[in-house]
Amino acid sequence: MKKLFNNIYSWIDERVQISDLVKFMSKKYVPIHSHSIWYYFGGVSLFFFIIQVVTGILLTFYYKGSSEQAYESIKFIMSKVEFGWLIRSIHAWSANLFIFTIFIHMFSVFFERTYRKPRELTWVTGVLLFFLSLSFGFSGYLLPWNELAYFATKVGTDIVGVVPIIGEPLKLLLRGSEDVTGATLSRFFAFHVMLLPLIFSLILFIHLLLVQIQGMSEPVEEKVKGNMPFFPNFFLRDLILWLLVLNILAVLAVFFPSELGLKANPLAPAPAGIKPEWYFMFMFQSLKFLPSKILFIDGELLGILLFGSAGVLWLLVPFWDRKTARGQKNRLINYIGIFAIIFIIVMTILGWVL
């Protein structure tokens, strides 16, 4: 067995020189310090992405992306296909945990100022991946074609239409028709399984390549106690964590399976207590709080422009945080990060309570 493996390895190595890569990987070190734990969240996010790819491909084997058949096909998956309920449930839970761990990964990188030179592009690609993950969530939410998804998509795409000049054409591009119809479902299906995975994989590849080339960032303020080889020491720790995460995922998926609800009916009134997914809640709730007119501007428009500019500023942090770039302390970054976290948590809770 070992001999066979060695033979295959040397066969490939003679042709594509992978031993250089292995040598490179074995020289990669992970710094040990009091905040080392944050290094794990990128890997966990990657693990959730892999689970999404596997379960997503499985679901497409039975899913039918049309307004007449989408709901029925998911019903079929959940009631007739063996372990269909489990695969769907894992896909839904893993999607939520994926976005949750990305939030943690992103904020830890923000507070550690890991985005500073030379890792500006790693930060930019990471934030793009975060935005794409939100789009994954939004497009995937409609696919069961149930009541909740229908109205969430109606509201979500309506908000896009508020933006001046580009809003209306963008809304039409997303919906594929004036209203949310079967045409929207076809488009969202295409976004969710074709367009987004393609763009996401490409950016993810660049993101991971940058991490490999530049190695792990060392913190500014913490004292580094030593180094741990990435392979096998850190890698095995990663695997143990992945195993733990997989078990948590399985427990959640089995004991709290995702429901299907009622089939979307464009003529029915919106059901009471309709809510977006939790990761959109803080934006949804903030827009609700804004008065309809602020000075001369439409309240909703102002909210969207504010969130839009916040997103752009967030994407470009490494370029306007000049102090950290010069090697000085920048407390403003801490304040912004803490404000963002408190704002998101408070608004999310208010969204659930009110």
Pairing of strands 293-294, 297-298: antiparallel
The answer for residues whose C-beta is within 8 angstroms of residue 350's C-beta and 6 or more apart is 285
Nearer to other proteins, 83 or 343 (CB): 83
In the three-class reduction of DSSP (H, G, I as helix; E, B as strand; rest coil), residue 262 is classed as coil
Tell me the closest approach of the beta carbon of residue 68 to other proteins, in angstroms: 18
Nearer to other proteins, 51 or 210 (CB): 51
Q: Where are the beta strands (DSSP E) in the chain?
A: 29-32, 226-229, 293-294, 297-298
Tell me the closest approach of the beta carbon of residue 8 to other proteins, in angstroms: 21
Nearer to other proteins, 76 or 107 (CB): 76
Tell me the closest approach of the beta carbon of residue 58 to other proteins, in angstroms: 6
* Site of tokens 């976004």: 191
Tell me the closest approach of the beta carbon of residue 97 to other proteins, in angstroms: 17
The answer for residues whose C-beta is within 8 angstroms of residue 60's C-beta and 6 or more apart is 193
Nearer to other proteins, 59 or 210 (CB): 59
Backbone angle region of 36, left / alpha / beta, with phi > 0 → left and psi within -120 to 50 → alpha: alpha
Nearer to other proteins, 86 or 195 (CB): 86
Tell me the closest approach of the beta carbon of residue 71 to other proteins, in angstroms: 18
Rounded to whole angstroms, the Cα distance separating 166 from 207 reads 30
Cα angle at 101 between 98 and 102, to 5 degrees? 85
Q: How many CB atoms lie within 10 A of CB 201?
A: 12
Nearer to other proteins, 143 or 160 (CB): 143
Tell me the closest approach of the beta carbon of residue 243 to other proteins, in angstroms: 8
Positions touching other proteins (CB under 8 A) are 54, 58, 61, 76, 80-84, 86-87
